[in-house]
Amino acid sequence: MKIGAIQIDIALGKPEENRQRVEVKVMEAAKKGAEVIILPEMWNTGYALTKLDNISDVDGQPTTGFLSDLAGRLNVDIIGGSISNKVGDRFYNHAMVINNHGSLVYIYDKIHLIKLMNEHRFITGGSRADVFSLRDTTWGLIICYDLRFPELSRKLALKGAEILVVPAEWPKVRLHHWRSLLIARAIENQQYVIAVNRVGQDDQNIFAGHSMVIDPLGDILYEAGEEEETIIMDINVEKVAEVRDFIPVFKDRHPDCY
């Protein structure tokens, strides 16, 4: 399976400009053979939290339609990172997954909200996470700060996730945490981790980039730098079962003791 992970800068509070940028990058990744294309966190607006009432999606639109059209037209699956999305009178950090037929197959609202970025003052946290299927593979998805809560990733692994996707706006000042936690999630759950971070800066943060593809043994297959870049990489999902058979962590668990 060929993955395309799109590491981009985000224009703060400018959803139309960001959609134009994403369309170009997704088309470029598809031309290079990517079958599943992954975007970063809150790519439609960035963390322009005080302006969400005027710039956020409403009930997933227009982004669902935009990504569905792209996916169907290019015959690619799109894991749409996450966007700001208004439902009723509440805002969510909202992820959507679109298959290559343009159909919405999974949604997830970020559960853990980061107080360091005042997210909790404007965003409502989600309450459920599950796995989803693309190309005969079982996937899990968490968003940015969720990475610091290993129980969530383990839950998805126990439900069969072979690949964990982590879209993020992770700041450069905590780059060491980003790299270490991603590697740990891959090792402890014996799964691929594909992490897609943004680059650039907003009013409060410089963002780290360093999007990564990590294999089920915790080896870094590719790590981006701190500029815009699209990772195009083949991964062999069969390696997940091989690693889990070789070191049977899941069979050796004693959850009754935890």
226 is annotated as an active-site residue: no
Number of C-beta neighbours around residue 46 at 10 A: 26
Choice among 25, 119, 144, 169 that is catalytic: 144
Q: Which residue blocks in the chain are alpha helix, DSSP H?
A: 15-31, 52-55, 63-74, 119-122, 150-158, 175-189, 238-246
Whose tokens are 């992970």? That residue is 5
41 is annotated as an active-site residue: yes
Burial of 257 (0-12, 13-18, 19+ CB in 10 A): exposed
> What string of DSSP letters covers 47-99?
S-GGGHHHHSEETTBTHHHHHHHHHHHHT-EEE---EEEEETTEEEEEEEEE-
Choice among 25, 110, 119, 162 that is catalytic: 110
257 is annotated as an active-site residue: no
List, by residue number, the catalytic residues.
Answer: 41, 110, 144
